[in-house]
Copies of this chain bind each other. A is one copy, B any other.
Amino acid sequence: MRIELLTTGDEVLDGTIVDTNAGHIERQLDALGYRVERVTAVRDDRAELEAALRAITARASVCITSGGLGPTDDDLTVDALAAVAGVDFEHDEVAWGHILARYGDRPVPPRNRRQARRPVGGRLLYSEVGTAPGVALTVGGCQVFCVPGVPREMAWHLERHVLPALGTPTPGVVRRSVRLVLIGESTAEEKLATISLPPEVAVGWRALDTEVELKLRGPEAAVAVAEAAVRRLFGPVAIEEADVATAALAACQRAGLSLGTAESCTGGLVGAALTDVPGASAVFFGSVVSYANSVKMDVLGVPEAVLRAHGAVSEPCAAAMALGAQRALGVDVAVSITGVAGPGGGSPERPVGTVCFGFAGPAPGQVRTETRHFRGDRSLVRRYAVAFALDGVRREVMGGKA
């Protein structure tokens, strides 16, 4: 079965709105074990729509279109579909009755009568969530489903009308993914090539900013064997959780430790990432964002002598910041970040991308520091620093177990 999607609408092609419909349909299909082979997006233009529908219906066994079912003149999907199928329209009394019922006492605008036109040989799919009925029509060997573009209506039609019509795909195939932290895609792939996985497991990769997702797909038992081998191979680089902030919070929670941060160049991003996780308050107490040196001294108690002798971007400063945050915030474990995110502020000794980290606790006075040089622009240096800080907390707290 080959499935393709067709999205319509000028606003999608101007970048005015992000097409979230395609992603929703893809995830729903993926969860059932189907895959989408191609997505096409075209403008509200009759010739473009017809050309796209003609090509898709010639290739695919299922086509799901979204958008262009409204009552206005630029809603052209059904007209284009009927033209490609070479069929006329007939009035659908049942669909028209639904539209009238939906309006109740209010007058129905005359143009809504368009929405009760049924391509000959097709079906109108009634809607409980809007006036626009969906349309189902088989063109050649391709089942075409037209659903509305309004996300809520699209989702309803998909679940109610489209998915039930598709039946069950390949049973027994499962998917698992393993999140790898602070490793490049090519390094990870080369490392994976050093072991062999069950041949019936398909491997996929997804590079995120500071993480890589390794996707495994195949029969359940083989996927379980593969996942165990991958986790053994990558050790602490592989996390169980969906992202490194969640992993850091989970590690602290398991260890019964509270967490705080002292942030300079990240400006609050580590706290923001932690508090993006609902329930973070069980572990995360707060942060001191000490962008100015005066705040490093006044709130965190970094000695002026340290700043004078080593500068703000230094391991001694990072150590003093982490210990200061541990004390000021009253937390068991604190991580500090101080660096040069750029574009300005670099020097020969401390070029842009230099970031120093401090990890304080849980034992009183215990502090470890580390320096990293990240490549990239300001935004990327900051995101790497966030990932490194959170991953460091996780490893620090897990101790020998990470």
Residues on A close to B: CB < 8 A? Answer: 10-20, 22-27, 30, 35-43, 48, 52, 55, 70-72, 74, 109, 111-112, 129, 150, 152, 185-187, 189-190, 204-207, 213, 258, 260-261, 263, 265-272, 274-276, 278-281, 284-292, 294-295, 298-299, 328-330, 341-344, 376-380, 382
Residues of B within 8 A of A299 (CB): 286, 288, 299, 328-329
Given contacts A13-B26, A267-B287, 16 further A-B contacts (CB under 8 A): A14-B204, A18-B18, A37-B43, A39-B39, A70-B186, A72-B185, A72-B186, A72-B205, A74-B204, A266-B272, A267-B272, A268-B271, A278-B343, A286-B299, A298-B330, A299-B329
Residues of B within 8 A of A39 (CB): 12-13, 39-41
Residues of B within 8 A of A263 (CB): 268, 271
User: In angstroms, how far is the closest chain B Cβ from the Cβ of A75?
Assistant: 10
Residues of B within 8 A of A13 (CB): 26, 35-39
Residues of B within 8 A of A109 (CB): 186-187, 190
Whether B15 lies near A18 (C-beta < 8 A) is no
Residues of B within 8 A of A14 (CB): 26-27, 30, 35-36, 204
The residue on B at minimum CB distance from A380 is: B152
The residue on B at minimum CB distance from A329 is: B295
Most buried by B among A266, A278, A292: A292
Whether B288 lies near A275 (C-beta < 8 A) is no
Return the 8 tightest CB-CB contacts between A and B, nearest first. A268-B268, A267-B275, A268-B271, A15-B26, A15-B27, A287-B289, A286-B295, A285-B292
Q: How far is the CA of A71 from the CA of B219 in the complex (A)?
A: 29
The residue on B at minimum CB distance from A378 is: B278
Report which of B37, B267, B289 forms a contact with A42, defined as CB distance below 8 A: B37
Whether A281 lies near B289 (C-beta < 8 A) is no
Copies of this subunit: 2
Contacts A263-B268, A291-B284, A378-B278; A186 near B129 (Cβ below 8 A)? no
Most buried by B among A42, A213, A261: A42
Contacts A13-B36, A40-B40; A268 near B289 (Cβ below 8 A)? yes
Q: How far is the CA of A109 from the CA of B188 in the complex (A)?
A: 11
Whether B271 lies near A270 (C-beta < 8 A) is no
Residues of B within 8 A of A42 (CB): 37-38
Whether A286 lies near B275 (C-beta < 8 A) is no
Q: List 27 A-B contacts (CB under 8 A).
A: A13-B39, A14-B35, A14-B36, A15-B27, A15-B206, A38-B40, A38-B48, A39-B41, A72-B189, A74-B205, A111-B189, A263-B271, A268-B275, A268-B287, A275-B289, A276-B379, A278-B342, A285-B291, A285-B294, A287-B291, A288-B288, A288-B289, A292-B329, A295-B329, A298-B329, A299-B328, A299-B329
